[in-house]
Chains A and B, each alone.
Chain A
Amino acid sequence: MSKSYFDETHCAFGHPKSTFMQWMLTIDHKRIGIMYAVVMFTFFFVAVAAALTMRFELFAPGQQFIEAQTFNQAFTLHGVIMVFLFIIPGIPAVFGNIVMPLMIGAKDVSFPRLNWFTFWLYILGCIIALSSLFNFSIADGSVVFNFADTGWTFYAPYSLNTDTNVVTTLVAAFILGMASILTGLNFLVTIHRLRAPGMDFFKMPLFVWGIYATAWIQLLATPVVGITLVLALLEKYFGIGIFDPSKGGDPVLFQHLFWIYSHPAVYLMILPAFGIMSEIIPAFSRREIFGYRTIALSSASIAGVGYLVWGHHLFTSGMSDMAKTIFSFLTFFVAIPTGIKFYDWIATMYKGKIVLDTPMLWALGTIITFAIGGLSGVTIAMIGSDIHLQDTYYTIAHFHYAMLGGVVFLFFAGIHYWFPLVFGKMYSEVQAKLAFVILFIGFNFLWFPMFIAGYLGMPRRYFDYLPEFQIYHQFSFWGAIIFVVGLVYMFYVLIQGIRNGKPTTPNPWNATTLEWHLPTTPPPLENHTKVPYVDFRPYEYHHGQPVVKFDENMKRID
Chain B
Amino acid sequence: MAHDSHDSHEYVPEIAVDRDGNQHEVQGWQGDTYGGKLGFWLFMLTEVMMFGSMFMVLSYYFHLHPQDFLDASAGLNRVLGGTNTVVLLVSALTMGLGLLKMRNGDVKGAKLMIWATILLALVFLGVKAVEWTAEYHHGIFLGLDALQSGNEHSLPFGQILFFGMYFSMTGLHGVHIIIGIGLMLWLLKRINSGKVTPEHNILHFNIALYWDLVHLIWVFVFPYFYMIGAGDIAGGVIHGH
Bound complex: CA of A230 vs CA of B169, how far in Å?
Answer: 11
Bound complex: CA of A181 vs CA of B50, how far in Å?
Answer: 12
B16 A110 Cβ-Cβ under 8 A: no
A112 B160 Cβ-Cβ under 8 A: no
With an 8 Å Cβ cutoff, the count of chain B residues facing the other chain is 50
What are the residues of chain B within 8 A of A186 when measuring CB–CB?
39
Name which of A190, A222, A238 has the most chain B CB atoms within 10 A of its CB: A238
Which candidate, B24-32, B107-115, B220-228, B230-238, is the interface stretch facing chain A? B24-32
Chain B 48-73 against A: per-residue CB contact (8 Å), 1 yes, 0 no? 01110110010011001100000000
B49 A220 Cβ-Cβ under 8 A: yes
Kindly identify which residue among A239, A248, A556 contacts B148, using a CB–CB cutoff of 8 Å.
Answer: A239
| Min distance, Cβ B214 to any Cβ of chain A, angstroms | 16
Bound complex: CA of A107 vs CA of B31, how far in Å?
Answer: 14
What are the residues of chain B within 8 A of A113 when measuring CB–CB?
4
A452 at the interface (CB under 8 A from B): no
What are the residues of chain A within 8 A of B167 when measuring CB–CB?
238, 240
Q: Return the chain B residue nearest A181 by Cβ.
A: B46
Which candidate, A91-99, A296-304, A527-535, is the interface stretch facing chain B? A527-535
Residues 384-412 of A at the B interface (beta carbon under 8 Å)? none
What are the residues of chain B within 8 A of A196 when measuring CB–CB?
16, 26
Kindly identify which residue among B17, B29, B49, B149 contacts A109, using a CB–CB cutoff of 8 Å.
Answer: B29
Kindly identify which residue among A111, A219, A247 contacts B149, using a CB–CB cutoff of 8 Å.
Answer: A247
What are the residues of chain B within 8 A of A250 when measuring CB–CB?
60
Kindly identify which residue among B28, B45, B148, B150 contacts A220, using a CB–CB cutoff of 8 Å.
Answer: B45
| Min distance, Cβ A263 to any Cβ of chain B, angstroms | 15
Name which of A246, A530, A531, A555 has the most chain B CB atoms within 10 A of its CB: A531
Q: Return the chain B residue nearest A108 by Cβ.
A: B29
B29 A106 Cβ-Cβ under 8 A: yes
Q: Return the chain B residue nearest A12 by Cβ.
A: B4
Task: Tell me the total A-B contact number using a CB cutoff of 8 A.
Answer: 152
B212 at the interface (CB under 8 A from A): no
B18 at the interface (CB under 8 A from A): yes
Bound complex: CA of A106 vs CA of B29, how far in Å?
Answer: 8
Bound complex: CA of A111 vs CA of B32, how far in Å?
Answer: 10
Q: Return the chain B residue nearest A238 by Cβ.
A: B142
Chain A's interface size range is 35 or more
| Min distance, Cβ A27 to any Cβ of chain B, angstroms | 9
Name which of A181, A219, A227 has the most chain B CB atoms within 10 A of its CB: A227
B35 at the interface (CB under 8 A from A): yes
B38 A193 Cβ-Cβ under 8 A: yes
Bound complex: CA of A249 vs CA of B165, how far in Å?
Answer: 11
Chain B 163-176 against A: per-residue CB contact (8 Å), 1 yes, 0 no? 01101100010000
A227 B54 Cβ-Cβ under 8 A: yes
B17 A533 Cβ-Cβ under 8 A: yes
Residues 177-193 of A at the B interface (beta carbon under 8 Å)? 181, 185-186, 188-190, 192-193
Residues 351-371 of A at the B interface (beta carbon under 8 Å)? none
| Min distance, Cβ B44 to any Cβ of chain A, angstroms | 11
B53 A189 Cβ-Cβ under 8 A: no
| Min distance, Cβ A161 to any Cβ of chain B, angstroms | 14
B57 A242 Cβ-Cβ under 8 A: yes
What are the residues of chain B within 8 A of A223 when measuring CB–CB?
46-47, 49-50, 53
B29 A224 Cβ-Cβ under 8 A: no
Given A240-B168, A248-B160, A248-B161, A219–B42 Cβ distance below 8 Å?
yes
| Min distance, Cβ A236 to any Cβ of chain B, angstroms | 12
Chain A 230-247 against B: per-residue CB contact (8 Å), 1 yes, 0 no? 110010001111101011
22 contacts between A and B (CB under 8 A): A114-B1, A185-B43, A189-B42, A193-B38, A223-B50, A227-B50, A234-B164, A234-B168, A238-B143, A240-B142, A240-B164, A240-B165, A241-B161, A242-B57, A247-B164, A250-B60, A253-B57, A260-B53, A530-B16, A533-B24, A535-B18, A535-B19
6 tightest A-B CB contacts, nearest first: A248-B157, A240-B164, A197-B24, A533-B18, A223-B49, A238-B142
Add 14 more A-B contacts to A185-B43, A531-B16, A533-B24 (CB < 8 A): A110-B39, A111-B35, A185-B42, A189-B42, A192-B35, A194-B35, A219-B46, A220-B46, A223-B47, A240-B142, A240-B165, A241-B161, A248-B64, A248-B160
Interface residues of A, Cβ cutoff 8 Å to B: 106-114, 181, 185-186, 188-190, 192-194, 196-198, 219-224, 226-228, 230-231, 234, 238-242, 244, 246-250, 253, 257, 260, 530-533, 535, 555-556
